[in-house]
Amino acid sequence: MAGSTRLAIALSALAYILAGLPFWWKLTEVYRVPLPYREVEGFVTKQSSSSAARVHCQLQIVFFSKEETPDRDAKWSDRLEVVLRATREWSSSGFCEIEVAVTLDAKGLCLHKRGGDRAKPLWECGRVLDSLHSQDSTSIDESLKNYIGEDRAGKYTILVLLDGELSQGGGAEAVVGKYRHAWVVFPPSLLGNDEQLTRIISETAGVLLAGGKPATAVAKTMPLAADGSAILSFSLLNADPENWIFNWDFDSVESQYLSPVVDALAPVARLSVESQVLYYTPAAARSQWNADIRSHVIESKDLSFFVNANEWHLDTSAAAAGRSKVLHFAIYVPPVEECPLRIKLSSGRITSSASIDGFTSPGWGGVVIWNPPGCLVADNSTLRQRLNVNDLKTTMEVVVAQLRTLFGLPPVPPRRKAPKLSILCNQRTGFAEWELDLLLRRRVIADVNSTASTLASLLKLVESLPKMVIQQEIGVQVTTSLEAAEKAMDAGNASYQVIGNFSATAKAWAEEAFFHPSIMSLLHFPKEHQFAMYTPFFVPVLLHTVISVVKETMRYARKSSRK
Amino acid sequence: MDLPFALAFVLLLTSCYAIDEDFSEELLLRPLPDGNVLAHFHFASTLPPVDHYGVHHRLFPKAIFQLVRKFRIKEMELSFTQGRWNYQRWGVGDPIAQLAAKPVGVELTASLDVPEAEVDSTWGNLTHALSGLFCASINFLESPTTFLEPWFSKSSRTRYGALPREAVCTENLTPWLKLLPCRDKAGLTTLLDRPTIYSGMYHSQRLIITSGDFDRDEEGTTLEQTLTVVLRKPAVSEGLSSKLQDWTLSGLFGSKLEGKCPLATTSSVYLELEESLAKHLAGDLSKETRINFVDNRVFSLSSAPSRVLASLSGSLLLEYEAGTHSELDLGVTWRAPVDWSPARGRFYTSRYLAGSGNARGSIVISFRANDGPSGDCYSPGIEAVEYVDIMILQMIPWYVRLYGHTLQVSLDGRNVEFWSVVRLMRFTPAEDRKAPAAVEIALRVSIATQAVTLTIQYDKGFLHIDEHPPDANRGFDLPSAVITFPRCRVFKQFQSDDVGHSHILAVVQSQRPMQIYSEVSLMQLATPDFSMPYNVITLTCTVLALYFGSLLNALRRRIGEEERESKGT
């Protein structure tokens, strides 16, 4: 029938267009490498559910006595069990997956208790310990280091010395050394008091494993760039060089004070040091003269305005390429009219009469106010001085304390009264070995967290922009990062160095993928543009086709009904 | 090693380089014959070699030091210029003009101590670092179409690039000042009042780095920062001559000079009187033993100089110590109408584009002998008596397609055989979108020649629609030609040998070949209609849609049947 031919023509024209549509759609697509959506999602949930990546730690608590202990075996067995349980309860809030082993090493008695199945290394009983009497804490620390022997990241020892003569004043006393061990002097006469014993041991373990702070109280991020590096930029600021001009012997300062710190922190962060001397750098905050202490005093609430972004040109240029992190340490020499300059704390107390004050700003760095000695009595004639290593000793100590604060440690190791607990500091580097382990664990967790969030937001971004080109390279980077992060999380017993490398790799690649230049230069191809391109052709063509189909269908229907 | 020898060795070592960092600030003022005033600020920081001094400094800017170490810069010169140096009125053949005259926009020359294969990539990174440091789009020089390796340069690791279109303003000056230890807080820099210096007739700010650290020649690193401004003559007052106006520092810059930068070892102000101006004084003073500079027939000065340096050629430099005067307000009051001419080279140079239309044209570089008194330059060798050597470096963007065979030289208006005049030539053809064309020519003409003209013809290429810069109708800037007179040494020798720490005097005394820049030319290319692609799309689509519609109708509709049907119903 003639009518059906025409309908067929109209329909085939429409069918042709409809069949061509998917092909045309395919042509408008851009290249997008398939990204591992499911794996990343799985990783993010896994990472957030276990609250923190688990790094392996071993803690052995050894009760050590040269003499025979008064209590019987059974009683000791109970006591070890109590200590084991107390420590394990506490350790759930720590940074690592902990394994505890408790040992009694007394004359003629050797008892072991283990928590967990994997706790392999056991204390070897019966080794001779030299007399610790008449030694100060630092030398005890050294002797015990030799005595304990094996020293590696993640293995910690608490030695409970059951020795009445060692304790001063007859009470229990704990000391955390600068390596990976602590010792508790516990007079045997107090052994009946199990509560006191468990309390002092778990406090000590808390310091040794987590710095004495719960994991939640610590800042989540480290002041480091994506590749785990940071630049320590030291600036000596001569606020007003009209009267006095100071410069410094920074080469010696670096070799004497900073290189040991940088070397010690090498497993945690790659730090580099640079310096400059700047002039005409007044502070932006005003101080007031306080006649009582004959000083200019600046309120702590004004400190946020102290750093003068207009005049302090602290920025580094060529070395700090890309997304590197710079920690500024500004040593500020006040002008003559404002010397000595001190800080009034928010509590109303004015800092000590020392010539040095300082404050830190998280993630930015620290400021040290260095008042030239005797500046009140000195005449105002021009003074030019080169500060040597000794002049800057205290300043550098403050700087190291500020560095500790920036990394999330207390500026100086705190002391506690009850139970009596003291922490030795490492005079040379400022960081004890166990603190470095702690920082490394924190960094691993921070790295894994940031990898998870970076990857998640990258994939979210990719999903939300369907017209963005995703290059092969990004796919590779995401996969590499994900693999490394998984390895860091499941590393288990691997050495800290390996875990640290994995987590750093994961973070670096995740950032690399996120900041890939091809993502930055998003292909500008908005929807309006597409409409503008295609409507001049498609609207008239489709209009014709659809109208013809409608008309022919109507005609065909009319004809067939007429028949 | 016995002791005296060791001592001598140590002495020798220490004599080769400075043992401490040093910073000096200097300002040279020169009244120009047309009544304007030239002010040339010169700041220099020197640094002993790293091997001896270490990497921590008290004066040398950290940013520049890091730049030098990272990119292994042996020599670098970066200039930002606004306005055109008027060679005829402000001078050609004198050392300050030599330093001050730069092509408009940004010019960068760098010599890098890296393996030859890495030079281009290091240059690219350097341009990025510099553009970050100076808030300028120097990074456009990364593109291989904008820089070249000059053939006449000393080493093959030198690159030269220019951006004639770059606008220069305070955002480039502020980072430049940041490199000075006193910034603009004390010393000579307090004179740098932004509105004054940017409303001047010419403004050129430079950064020159030389480092001997990579050659182990014990020279250390030097950073020279210079700023040259030609300030408009003060508003007309009741003067002696309509041309010369009295001026003072405070009148020019809006403030007096108070004190010096406490970190500078030298802080001086110089007033330069050119030979032909100084002659007027000499004529006046032939009877007297000493010239009274403060008050003489020609002018009077507001304060007496601490020292007067006379060059062998007769120009005078009056030196003022900035630190000793608590307040220095140097000023010149003219007493008699004087007329003098600036130092002139042997040739005036100009470059222009000939031809019309959007298809073809020719580039002409012409040299015209200076008819007035020629400020002669020192020319070593006997040949220089008879000949003048001229070296031309001209970079041409790839979209200007040069025809090498049309290159012609004419002397005094007559075409001459090409190779009779041209001693050496390197013609590097352009590669589309990859490399610019470079024409480097060394000419030798007789000293009697009055005019030399070089001509080369070109076709204008077509650019892609997205290769046009914003404001495409403005045209494209051709970079200046760099013209060197290698046998003509520009320098001044002073009668007294004592130049002290002065870097300006050291620069003035050093022998350099005379170098001048041609004008920047603006070339019009055929500018496309930027809405064309969309017009084409719309037109094509409409035609196709019409065709499709009529075809479909032709297949489907039967006119007669429809009429029948409409009648039937």
Cis preceding linkage at A340, omega within 30: yes
User: Using one digit for the tens of pLDDT, what is the confidence trace for A481-500?
Assistant: 999 988 888 776 778 888 88
Residues of B in contact with A548 (CB under 8 A): 552-553, 556
Instruction: Name the one residue in this structure whose structure tokens are 């900035």.
Output: B322
A251 and chain B in contact, CB less than 8 A:
yes
Q: With bands split at pLDDT 50, 70 and 90, how would you rate the model's confidence at B288?
A: very low
The packing angle between helices A527-562 and A2-28, to 10°, is 160
A559 and chain B in contact, CB less than 8 A:
no
From the CA of A532, how many Å to the nearest CA of chain B?
9
Cα–Cα dist A194/A62, whole Å: 15
- Residue A73: pLDDT above 50? yes
pLDDT of B328 reads 84
Cα Rg for chain A, rounded, in angstroms?
34
From the CA of B179, how many Å to the nearest CA of chain A?
10
- Tell me which H or E stretch contains B531: none
Cα–Cα dist A481/A509, whole Å: 5
From the list B59, B63, B186, the residue facing A317 with the nearest CB is B63
Instruction: Please state, for a pLDDT cut of 70, what percent of chain B lies above it.
Output: 88
From the CA of B181, how many Å to the nearest CA of chain A?
6
B566 and chain A in contact, CB less than 8 A:
no
- Say whether B185 and A250 touch across the interface (CB within 8 A): no
Cis preceding linkage at A282, omega within 30: no
Best of A544, A546, A550, A551 to mutate (most B CBs within 10 Å, chain B): A544
A380 and chain B in contact, CB less than 8 A:
no
Look at the domain B347-493+512-523 and name its fold. Answer: Immunoglobulin-like (2.60.40)
Cα–Cα dist A388/A213, whole Å: 38
From the list B63, B541, B553, the residue facing A536 with the nearest CB is B541
A254 and chain B in contact, CB less than 8 A:
yes
Chain A contacts in chain B segment 199-238 (CB below 8 A) = none
- What are the C-alpha distances in Å from A285 to residues A294, A298, A308, B232, B239? 19, 8, 8, 41, 51
Residue of B nearest to A247 (CA): B58
Question: How confident is the model over A295-324, as a mean pLDDT?
Answer: 79
Q: Half-sphere exposure of residue B538, counting CA atoms within 13 Å on the CB side? A: 8
Residue of A nearest to B67 (CA): A318
A275 and chain B in contact, CB less than 8 A:
yes
CB B176 within 8 A of CB B135: no
Question: How confident is the model over B196-204, as a mean pLDDT?
Answer: 90
- Residue A192: pLDDT above 70? yes
From the list B63, B186, B541, the residue facing A537 with the nearest CB is B541
Residues of B in contact with A537 (CB under 8 A): 540-541, 544-545
User: Using one digit for the tens of pLDDT, what is the confidence trace for A11-56?
Assistant: 888 898 899 889 988 887 778 888 888 888 888 888 776 655 567 7
- What are the C-alpha distances in Å from B92 to residues B203, B514, B564? 17, 8, 95
- Residue B235: pLDDT above 70? no
- Say whether A242 and B186 touch across the interface (CB within 8 A): yes
- Say whether B552 and A10 touch across the interface (CB within 8 A): yes
Looking at the predicted complex, does its ipTM rise above 0.90?
no
Residues of B in contact with A521 (CB under 8 A): none
- Say whether B182 and A382 touch across the interface (CB within 8 A): no
Cα–Cα dist B164/B176, whole Å: 20
B110 burial (CB, 10 Å; 0-12 / 13-18 / 19+) is: buried
pLDDT of A92 reads 55
CB A412 within 8 A of CB A397: no
Instruction: Please state, for a pLDDT cut of 70, what percent of chain A lies above it.
Output: 88
pLDDT of A117 reads 56
Q: With bands split at pLDDT 50, 70 and 90, how would you rate the model's confidence at A110?
A: confident
Q: With bands split at pLDDT 50, 70 and 90, how would you rate the model's confidence at A320?
A: low
- Say whether B556 and A10 touch across the interface (CB within 8 A): yes
Best of B50, B548, B556 to mutate (most A CBs within 10 Å, chain A): B556
A276 and chain B in contact, CB less than 8 A:
yes
- Say whether B182 and A280 touch across the interface (CB within 8 A): yes
- Say whether B185 and A319 touch across the interface (CB within 8 A): no
A560 and chain B in contact, CB less than 8 A:
no
Please state whether beta strands A155-161 and A55-64 pair in parallel, antiparallel, or not at all (unpaired): parallel
Chain A contacts in chain B segment 55-84 (CB below 8 A) = 55-59, 61-63, 66-67, 69-71
CB pairs under 8 A between A and B: 102
Residues of B in contact with A13 (CB under 8 A): 552
Chain B contacts in chain A segment 461-480 (CB below 8 A) = none
Residue of A nearest to B534 (CA): A533
Q: Tell me A68's DSSP state.
A: P
User: Using one digit for the tens of pLDDT, what is the confidence trace for A86-102?
Assistant: 776 665 555 677 778 88
- Residue A245: pLDDT above 70? yes
From the CA of A26, how many Å to the nearest CA of chain B?
20
Q: With bands split at pLDDT 50, 70 and 90, how would you rate the model's confidence at B459?
A: very high
- Say whether A533 and B537 touch across the interface (CB within 8 A): yes
For the ranges A156-170, A521-535, B45-59, B199-213, the lowest mean pLDDT is seen at A521-535
- Residue B190: pLDDT above 50? yes
DSSP β-bridge partners for residue A114: A101
- Say whether A540 and B542 touch across the interface (CB within 8 A): yes
User: Using one digit for the tens of pLDDT, what is the confidence trace for A351-404?
Assistant: 666 678 888 888 889 999 988 887 766 665 567 888 888 888 889 989 999 998
Residue of A nearest to B557 (CA): A6
pLDDT of A522 reads 57
Best of B23, B25, B45, B58 to mutate (most A CBs within 10 Å, chain A): B58
Q: Tell me A323's DSSP state.
A: T
pLDDT of A352 reads 64
From the list B55, B133, B545, the residue facing A541 with the nearest CB is B545
Of A495, A491, A484, which is closest to residue A454 (Cα–Cα)?
A484
Q: Tell me A45's DSSP state.
A: H
Residues of A in contact with B541 (CB under 8 A): 536-537, 540
DSSP β-bridge partners for residue B443: B390, B422
